[in-house]
A and B are shown apart, each in its own frame.
Chain A
Amino acid sequence: LAKTTQPISMDSYEGQEVNITCSHNNIATNDYITWYQQFPSQGPRFIIQGYKTKVTNEVASLFIPADRKSSTLSLPRVSLSDTAVYYCLVGQNSNYQLIWGAGTKLIIKP
């Protein structure tokens, strides 16, 4: 059974690039990795999704190495408004099991 592990917290400064890594063992080649952002008093919000190599959208990039034992969410040039909790989710296509990480609290400082 797959399990996901994320750092509990991270901090950085405005304008920096932030990388948050999620470790996930025992995932299959077609299992998807999805990242969410959550602000206080709100539900999580979808950021990005992929299952191999690199995916980029207007807000983030997702890097998945060939061994697929981890994935990294990359936020370019963060601002104070990126302070939030970030969750990784492994979706197992064999049985549509959802394996959520416990979340990483990211604090951006001025």
Chain B
Amino acid sequence: DVKVTQSSRYLVKRTGEKVFLECVQDMDHENMFWYRQDPGLGLRLIYFSYDVKMKEKGDIPEGYSVSREKKERFSLILESASTNQTSMYLCASSLGLWTPAVYEQYFGPGTRLTVT
């Protein structure tokens, strides 16, 4: 079974803090994704990575950065957290870029981040 783990289920941070969200997958997947999920808006892609040290902006990258130093680990960084970044953050992974398997994503349980 593919397992995607996220470092925290719940996190509370103050405005202006630097926040790190960590994600690890154990299935040697090439692709990893970070989403945020807000009521009524579904899933919005922040960044994805198709290989170590590679990253691509998604639909809403502003205010976020990412790091992928190892294949199994993908980190989301909020450089200076703001209240409008309060959300559920979901990490996902999938196989191969040039096949439909890229759309069969395995998700972690999510991190509910509250910025006060």
Q: Tell whether A and B belong to one assembly.
A: yes
Chain A residues engaging chain B, CB cutoff 8 angstroms: 32, 34, 36, 41-46, 49, 51, 87, 89, 91, 93, 96, 98, 100-103
In angstroms, Cα B40 to Cα A102, docked, is 6
Which of B45, B104, B106, B107 is close to A34, meaning CB atoms less than 8 Å apart? B104
Q: Is the CB of A44 within 8 A of B100?
A: no
Q: Is the CB of A44 within 8 A of B103?
A: no
Q: Is the interface of B mostly helix, strand, loop or mixed?
A: mixed
- Residues of chain B from 78 to 107 with CB closer than 8 A to chain A in the complex: 90, 92, 97, 100, 102-107
Known contacts A43-B4, A43-B92: A87-B43 contact under CB 8 Å: yes
Q: Is the CB of B103 within 8 A of A100?
A: no
In angstroms, Cα B109 to Cα A51, docked, is 28
A-B Cβ contacts below 8 A, count = 50
Residue of B nearest to A4 (CB): B42
In angstroms, Cα B41 to Cα A56, docked, is 29
Q: Is the CB of B106 within 8 A of A46?
A: yes
Chain B residues engaging chain A, CB cutoff 8 angstroms: 4, 40-45, 58, 90, 92, 97, 100, 102-110
Residue of A nearest to B97 (CB): A96
Residue of A nearest to B2 (CB): A46
Q: Is the CB of A103 within 8 A of B104?
A: no
With a cutoff of 8 Å between Cβ atoms, the chain B residues found around residue A51 in the complex are 100
Q: Is the CB of A41 within 8 A of B109?
A: yes
Q: Is the CB of A98 within 8 A of B103?
A: yes
With a cutoff of 8 Å between Cβ atoms, the chain B residues found around residue A42 in the complex are 107, 109-110
Q: Is the CB of B42 within 8 A of A100?
A: yes
Known contacts A43-B4, A96-B97, A102-B41: A89-B103 contact under CB 8 Å: yes
